[in-house]
Structure 1
Amino acid sequence: MKTKKRKQTDGAELDVGREILLTIKRIGINGEGIGYYKKKAVFVPGALPGEVVEASITKVQSSYAEGKIKKIKQTSELRQTPFCPVYDECGGCQLQHMTYEGQLKAKEDMVRGAFERYTEMKELPLRPILGMDEPWNYRNKAQLQAGMRDGKVIMGLYAADSHRLVDIGDCPIQHPETNRMISAAREALEKLNIPVYNERKRTGVVRTIVARVGFETGEQQLILVTAEDKLPRTKELIAELRMRLPRLTSISQNINKRKTPLIFGDKTITLWGKEAIDESLGNVKFSLSPRAFFQLNPSQTVKLYNAVKEAAGLTGSELVVDAYCGVGTIALWLAPDARKVRGIEVIPEAVADAKRNAEKSGITNAEFYVGQAEKLLPQWVKRGERPDVIVVDPPRVGCDKALLDAILKAKPKRFVYVSCNPSTLAKNIADLLKEYKLEWVQPVDMFPHTAHVECVSKLILKKEAGKN
C-alpha cells in the first residue's frame, strides 16, 4: 500500500520525498531557483525569484538540498512560455521560461552575490549588464551528437543527467545557417545510409556534426567527427552536402576513436574546400580551422572586447601581456592602441593560429609565445620588460594561484580580468585586492537564455589609483 507523502512541518528535518513550501529568492549559477529552509539553500530547477512553490525534496546534503516543483502557488511576473518546443528536455538553455529583462537582472544578481560570498567588499562597483536587442539566432557554431531513433537519423544534445539524446531541429539560439547545415547533414547521412555512432554498443561511424558560420563573411564550415578512420561513401556525401548547401566553404573529418566526452580527436582531414574559413571582428581578421576556438556570439564579443579596451586604457605607449591569449582575439583587438602586445598560450596550435591572424590583419606589434604565463612573466620582468597592462581570460576554474602570484610580483599598472564564472572571478579578485583597487565590473550577456554571464573587471594598482 502506498503511503501518502507528508508535507513538511516547521519542526521536521529535510529528507528525500518531503514536500515543503518555499519562497524563491534568487537564481543560481546553473539557472535553478534558490529558496531557503531553516537557512539551508534549496535548489529548485524551473523556479523563479518571487515565486512560492510546493517542492518535493530530491536530494539532501549537509549544506544544501535539491527539489523539484510539484506546484507553483504564486507565479512570478517574470515567467513566460519558452519559445523552443524541446526546452524542457534539451538542457542547452536554462532560462527560456524567464523574460529577457528578468534574465539580465538575474545575471547581475549572480555577479553581485558571488562578490558578497567571496570578498569583503562593502560595495561592488557593478555596471549595468550589456544585453542584446534581439537575443535569438546568436550562436555561430552548433555541435550536435548523432543518433538513431525509429530507424531515422537524429541530431541533438543529451538531456540533463542522462544519455538520452534529444532531437533538435531549428534551434532558436543558433544562426539559421547552422541549423540548415545540421539539417542537410542529417538528410545526407540518412539518404546514403552512413552508419551513425552508437555510444552504448560502440558501433557505427559518425559521432558528432559541427557546423560553423562566419557572421561577417558568410563562409560555412562543416565537420564530421567519426569513430573510425574510414568515412563510408565520402565522395557521394560531399556531393550531397554541396548540392544541399550552396554556400558551403569547407568539409572536414575529425577522427575521435576514444571513449571520451571530448568532441574532437587529434587528427583532422580536409575532405573538400578550404582548410579554414575566414571571419572578422571589427578590423581584425581570423582564420578558423576546424578545432580553433572562437567566441560563439560575435555581436556581443565586440561589446565585451570594447569593455576590455576601455579597461586597458591604452595610449599607444604600453606593453600589454595577454596571459591566456588563445588564437589572439583579445591581443589583436588591443594591438592598434598599444606599443607592443605579447600573447601567451600553452597550446602550440593556438599560438600558430594567433600569428597567422596577426599577419592576416596586418598587425606587426603583436608577438605570441608558447608557454605558461607564470613562468614567462617573471623572466620578462627580470629583463626589465615589465608590462603596463596584463589581461587574462582564463577557463571557468579561474586563474592559477601561481599566475596570480606572478601578476602581484610584476605589478602592472592596470589588470583586466575577463571571466565566464562570477565565483572564480570573485575569489581571484579577493586575492588581488591587497595590491589592487577594483574600479568596475562590467557584465556582458554573451549567452541569452542560459545561466552564463561574462564579466570584464578593471583593477588599478593602488599606488597608481590616485593618478587617474
Structure 2
Amino acid sequence: MSKQTRLRKNDIVPLTITGYTAQGSGVGHYDGMAVFVPKAAEGDCLQVRILKVGKTYAYGKIESITVPSKDRVEPDCPQFTKCGGCVFRHISYAAECRAKEQRVRDAIQRIAGLDPKLVGPIAAAPFSDRYRNKAQFPLGRDAEGKFTAGFYALHSHRIVPCKDCRLQPAVFAKAVCAVGEWQRESGESIYEERTGKGVLRHLYLREAMSSGTIMVCLVINGNSVRREDRLVSLLRKQVPGLCSVILNRNSKNTNVILGKQFRLLWGTSFLVDTLCGLKFSISPQSFYQVNRDQAEVLYRIAKRFAGLTAKETLLDLYCGTGTIGLSMADQAERLIGVEVVPAAVEDARKNAERNHIKNAEFRCGDAPQIAEQFQQQGLVPDVIVLDPPRKGCGPALVHTAASMMPSRIVYVSCDPATLARDLKTFAGEGYFLRQAVPVDLFPRTAHVECVA
C-alpha cells in the first residue's frame, strides 16, 4: 500500500468480505491491507468505517451494507450486537458450519502444511439453540439501581441485561427471575468490582440434560445471605427440576467466578447426567462439556479413531473428570487417565466407580511430567488420547508421546491453530495425520472442536 492511499482512522472505504477470522469477524482487503469487521458476512459488499489501523491490518465497523450476503439472516436475539457471546447470529447455521469447517482446513494447510482434504465434513449440531447445560450470570445494578443479570459485553465487565439467552435452557430464565425477586424482597446487597463491597456476585446454573435436573449456585462475597429460606422457597416454587441450591464464597478481587468454599442450602451437592451411556456426577466446579449431545458425537468419533479391540492399554492425557477415557474403557484392557486438577481426578475415580468400570485408574499431575515418568518406567501405551487446553500440547509433550511409540494417537482439540501446530510437530516425530473431523459443540459462537 502506498503512503498516498494508506488507511486512516475514520476513513470510509468499500469492502467485500471474503472470509472470517478465528474470532468470527468478517475479513476483507483494501489496497492489500486486511480489514477485520465484526458482524460482517462472507459475500457482503459494505461501506466500512475504519476504527484502528495497524501496520498490516485494520479494524472497522459496518457503516452501511451495499449488497448483503446471501448467507445473511435476521438476528433472532435482541442482545446480539451487545453481548460478547454469539458472533454468527446474522448468518444461517449452514453458512456458519461452512465457515468453521473452512477454518479448520485453513489451519491444517497453512500451519501444519498438510493436505486440507484430510479434514472431513463438519459434524453439525442438530440444534443451534438451547444446547448449553451451564450458565454464569454476573449480577449487578441497572441505571436505576435495580437488580440485573446478564452477560458481559465483549472485552468489558459491563453487564448486558439478559434473563433468557437462546443458547441456554429456558428454565434458566426462571432461576434468574426467582433470584431477582428474592433480592428485591430481602434487600441483599450486590457486589461492586470497583469497591470490593456488596454480597451478590454471580448466579451459576447447571442442568443435567438427561434428567432435566437443575443446580443453582449463588456466588457471594461473604458466608451467608439474607433470608436463605426464602431464596430456597422461591427457587423451589419457580424452577422445575430443581434439585440443588448452593452458596459459594468468593471474597477475592479476581475474575475467577467460583471460590473454594461451598455450602449446601437445599437438595443434593451434585447432579448426575448420562453421557455415552455412562452416568457422571457434576459438582459446581466439575469440568463437563456444555453441549452434551454434541459431546457424545465427538466422543464417538474419538472412539472410532482409537480403533480399540479390548487388548490395548489406553493412556488418556488431560483426562479431566474421565469422560472421554471412560467412554472408551469397555473396548480397552487398561485405561490410565492423567489430570492436573485434584478435584477432577477425584471425580474421575468416582465416575469409574459409579459406572462399575474396573479397568480404569487415574493419576494426578501435570500431563507432560507424568507422561515422561511413564516413559522412563517403560510404560508402552497402545493408544494415547490427548485433550489439551486451548494452548495445545507443545513440543515437549508431543515428543514424549511419540517416544512411547503408541500405534495410534487421537487428538481432541478446541483450537484449530494449536492443533495444526502440534500436528506439524508430530510429523517431525514420525506421526502423520490420517483424518480430522470438526465438531460443532458451540453453535452461533466462534468456537469449533476437532478430532484428529
- So what's the TM-score if we normalise by structure 2? 0.96
Q: After TM superposition, where is structure 1 displaced by more than 4 Å over at least 4 residues in a row? A: 8-11
User: Are 1:340 and 2:325 counterparts?
Assistant: no
Q: How does 1:138-217 map to 2 (within 5 A)?
A: 138-149=131-142, 150-217=144-211
Question: What are the Cα deviations for residues 54-73 of structure 1, in whole angstroms up to 9, with x where unaligned?
Answer: 11111122232111111111
Give the match for residue 352 of structure 1. Answer: 346
What's the offset of the Cα at 1:287? 0.8
**Where do 1:300-311 residues align within 5 Å?**
300-311=294-305
Answer with 236-245 or 277-286: which moved more. 236-245
Distance 1:10 1:83, change over 3 A: farther
**Does residue 1:398 correspond to 2:395, yes or no?**
no
CA RMSD of aligned residues (A): 1.6
> Which of residues 239, 243, 259 is equivalent to 1:249?
243
Give unpaired runs (5+ residues) of structure 1: 1-7, 458-468
Asked if 2 retains the 8 angstrom alpha-carbon contact of 1:57 and 1:65, the reply is yes
1:288 aligns with 2:275: no
* 1:188–1:241 contact (8 Å) kept in structure 2: no
The correspondence for 1:87, drawn from 71, 77, 80, is 80
In the aligned structure 2, how far is the partner of 1:39 from the partner of 1:258?
47
- What runs of 5+ residues in structure 2 fail to find an aligned partner? none
Are 2:448 and 1:449 aligned? no
Displacement after TM superposition at 1:51 (Å)? 1.2
Matches within 5 A, 1:67-106: 67-106=60-99
Structure 1 window deviating more from structure 2 (18-27 vs 295-304): it is 18-27
The SS at the match of 1:433 is helix
Q: 2:54 aligned with 1:56, yes or no?
A: no
- In structure 2, relative to structure 1, the CA distance for the partners of 1:10 and 1:96 (3 Å cut) is farther
Q: Which of 260, 268, 272 matches 2:266?
A: 272
1:418 matched residue in structure 2: 412
* Paired residues of 2:84 and 2:155 also in contact (CA < 8 A): no
Give 1:202 shift: 2.4
**Counterpart Cα distance in 2 of 1:115 and 1:173:** 29
CA contact (8 A) 1:444 1:453 kept: yes
Indicate the larger mover: 99-108 or 155-164: 155-164
CA contact (8 A) 2:108 2:115 kept: no
8 A contact 2:140–2:192 mirrored in 1: yes
Q: What residue is the counterpart of 2:433 in the other structure?
A: 438
Matches within 5 A, 1:311-330: 311-330=305-324
Distance 1:438 1:220, change over 3 A: same
- In structure 2, C-alpha distance between the alignment counterparts of 1:36 and 1:115, rounded to whole Å: 23
Q: Report if the CA contact (8 A) 1:378-1:410 is conserved.
A: no
Q: CA separation in 2, counterparts of 1:329 and 1:444?
A: 17
CA–CA distance in structure 2, aligned partners of residues 202 and 164 of structure 1: 16
Cα distance in 1 for residues equivalent to 2:315 and 2:92:
39
For the residues of structure 1 that align with 2:5 and 2:188, how far apart are their CA atoms?
58
C-alpha displacement of 1:9: 9.8
Of 325-334 and 16-25, the range deviating more from structure 2 = 16-25
Alignment-mate amino acid for residue 436 of structure 2: V
Q: Per-residue deviation at 1:104?
A: 0.4
1:363 partner amino acid = I
CA shift for structure 1 position 121: 1.8
More divergent stretch after superposition (171-180 vs 217-226): 171-180
Matched, 1:39 2:32: yes
Q: Choose the corresponding residue for 1:30, options 20, 23, 43.
A: 23
Report the secondary structure of 2:184's partner residue. Answer: helix
Q: Which deviates the most, 313-322 or 184-193?
A: 184-193
Alpha-carbon distance in structure 2 between the residues aligned to 1:23 and 1:169: 36
Cα distance between partner residues in 2 of 1:340 and 1:14: 60
Q: CA deviation at 1:246?
A: 4.7
Q: Cα deviation per residue 1:87-135 (whole Å; 9 max; x = unaligned)?
A: 1111210100010110000001111121222122244411111112221
Q: Quick one: distance in 2 between partners of 1:312 and 1:246?
A: 40
SS in 2 for 1:59: strand
How far apart are residue 197 of structure 1 and its match?
Answer: 1.3
User: What is the DSSP-based 3-state SS (H/G/I as helix, E as strand, rest coil) of the residue aligned with 2:423?
Assistant: helix
Q: SS state of the match for residue 268, structure 1? A: strand
Which has the higher mean CA deviation after the structures are superposed, 32-41 or 306-315? 32-41
Number of the residue aligned with 1:373: 367
* 1:201 Cα deviation from its structure 2 partner: 3.0
Question: 8 Å contact 1:318–1:339 — kept in the other structure?
Answer: yes
Aligned equivalent of 1:464? none
**Aligned partners of 1:357 and 1:342: how far apart in 2?**
14
Rounded to whole Å, the distance in 1 between the matches of 2:410 and 2:318 is 12
Partner amino acid for 1:148? R
Partner AA of 1:436 in structure 2: Y
Aligned position for 2:379: 385
Mapped partners of 1:357, 1:29: distance in 2: 35
Amino acid in the other structure paired with 2:334 = K
